[in-house]
A and B are shown apart, each in its own frame.
Chain A
């Protein structure tokens, strides 16, 4: 106990402290246009309007992100959209190898979930199917893991002289429940682990794992055990970008665990320093034991960097749903960081 207390005091003290204090306020917004060929309808949407605040002082950082999603309008009779504290955490920086965070986070899973809604920093308007909500074999739609969690996070990175860098995140938080950000009612916590190995030549490999007891009734069980494991790869060379991810999800049902899986591959190449054509293939298999039930889609699109803070995107999603017939959707958007 004495040793643990001494360690905590040593962590908090630190040998020296910087004196800088900075408040930064910035954010991003996007406007989307969508046309769905199957429904023959089109719509505009202010999908995201996010304001981020960071306050850095000595060894601490406080980060918060407020999101107004789908241009929310809240009235007594009718409510549209969402207003969410997307992220709100503090960070204590002991060293590059050890940082401790507490608060609400995006779950560190895969390539995109740490920037899940930050549309200016990814090429497409739509995220891969891995990141969407699905109904694999449960009673309602859900993601393969919680998009957010509230709790603690330990993270850091360790580099060798050759700039091989291992980054790690370990998280403990409330599991998925009806009030998962304020009241965790089950007896287990969610556990999150992510490792990312960055190698020379701009190649990185990632491994993510999430486990929890799901209280949202996805499978009909009140406290269903669930786990998701993902692998990801990213490679950049000059103007070329390659990305691939695979995730497998298991959910407990009355008869035992059932598995779902998803993967995608993306290739993009920047032309003339600002125009990036993109091709992506997605596949989602909602039940590993059932045949011919997978959904897949091709995405063909282009991202135009009008400025390092302004991106114009256009893409066509050609969907092939096993039980729903073919469909295509056009999405275009403009994303602006400010």
Chain B
């Protein structure tokens, strides 16, 4: 039963995928992460270095982002954070140089993000729904964003 609940977001994402799927982004965390849902504001705070731990400080967050060369990355940050490439790069440079907080790790491929999140309990990343493979990535869960899973009506990153 627990496995079915864990896989439900994956299955939903795959089964309801339209023919031209690809741009939809899924927010993923390690399977051991207790979080179920994340708000748009929390996503913004995590990627802007304002939120370094999950609720009640349970786990330190290690955010990872896809390189800006990928359209998915630009889509995710413009839709989710309302930020463009240059603004984010500048904000991350300030984080890194001031030492205020850890700037997100940059991955070249979605495969790198999946591997990183699977290995790290505090990691948070985003990938396209097409990259989801529940059989291959049993250590990863998809988070609800503002209470909605990918492909549900009103999902933020559809």
The reply to whether the CB of A52 lies closer than 8 angstroms to some CB of chain B is yes
Alpha-carbon separation in the docked complex, A309 to B85 (Å):
12
Q: A270 → chain B, closest Cβ, in Å?
A: 10
By CB atoms of chain B within 10 A, which of A52, A89, A93, A165 has the most? Answer: A93
Picked from B60, B61, B96, the residue with its CB within 8 Å of the CB of A52 is B96
A59 to B85, CA, bound (A): 29
Q: List 17 A-B contacts (CB under 8 A).
A: A16-B58, A18-B120, A19-B120, A19-B121, A20-B122, A28-B97, A63-B99, A93-B53, A93-B60, A95-B57, A96-B50, A99-B52, A115-B94, A118-B98, A165-B50, A273-B86, A309-B89
Which chain B residues numbered 58 to 88 have a C-beta less than 8 Å away from chain A? Answer: 58-62, 85-86
Majority secondary structure, B binding face: mixed
Residues of chain B lying within 8 A (CB to CB) of residue A52 = 96-97, 99
Q: A18 to B94, Cβ gap below 8 A? A: no
Closest to A337 in B: B93
Check B3 for interface membership: any CB of A closer than 8 A: no
Size range of the chain A interface in the assembly = 35 or more
Residue-wise, chain A 92-131 has the 8 Å CB interface mask toward B (1 for contact) of: 0111111100000000000000110010110000000000
A19-B120, A273-B86 known; A337 vs B97 contact (CB < 8 Å): yes
Q: Which residue in chain B gives the minimum CB-CB distance to A117?
A: B97
A63–B98 alpha-carbon span in the complex (Å): 10
Asked whether B57 lies within 8 Å of A94 as measured between CB atoms, the reply is yes
Interface residues of B in 112-126 (CB under 8 A from A): 119-123
CB nearest to A156 among chain B residues = B52
> Considering the chains assembled together, what is the distance between the CA atoms of A89 and B85 in angstroms?
31
Given known contacts A96-B52, A121-B90, A163-B41, is B100 in contact with A18 (CB within 8 Å)?
A: no
Contacts of A99 in B (CB 8 A): 52
B73 smallest CB distance to A (angstroms): 14
Are A121's CB and B102's CB within 8 A? no
Q: Which residue of A lies closest to B57 (CB)?
A: A95
Task: Kindly list chain B residues whose C-beta atoms are within 8 Å of the C-beta of A17.
Answer: 59-60, 121
* Residues in A neighbouring B62, C-beta threshold 8 A: 18, 20, 22, 56
A61 contacts partner chain B, Cβ-Cβ < 8 Å: yes
Q: B86 to A121, Cβ gap below 8 A?
A: no
Tell me which of B57, B96, B105, B121 contacts A22 (CB under 8 A).
Answer: B105
Question: Contact at B59–A309, with CB atoms within 8 Å?
Answer: no
B2 within 8 A of A: no
Cα A123 to Cα B89 in complex, Å, equals 15
Is A14 located at the chain interface by the 8 A CB criterion?
A: yes
A97 to B50, CA, bound (A): 11
A15-B58 CB under 8 A given contacts A22-B105, A93-B52, A159-B45 = yes
User: A87 contacts the other chain (Cβ, under 8 Å)?
Assistant: yes
Q: Which residue of B lies closest to A163 (CB)?
A: B41
What residues on B are CB-neighbors of A337 within 8 Å?
93, 97
Q: Counting CB contacts under 8 A, is B51 at the interface?
A: yes
Q: How far is the CA of A16 from the CA of B122 in the complex (A)?
A: 9
The reply to whether A114 and B100 form a contact with Cβ atoms under 8 Å apart is: yes
- Bound-state CA distance A287–B58 (Å) is 51
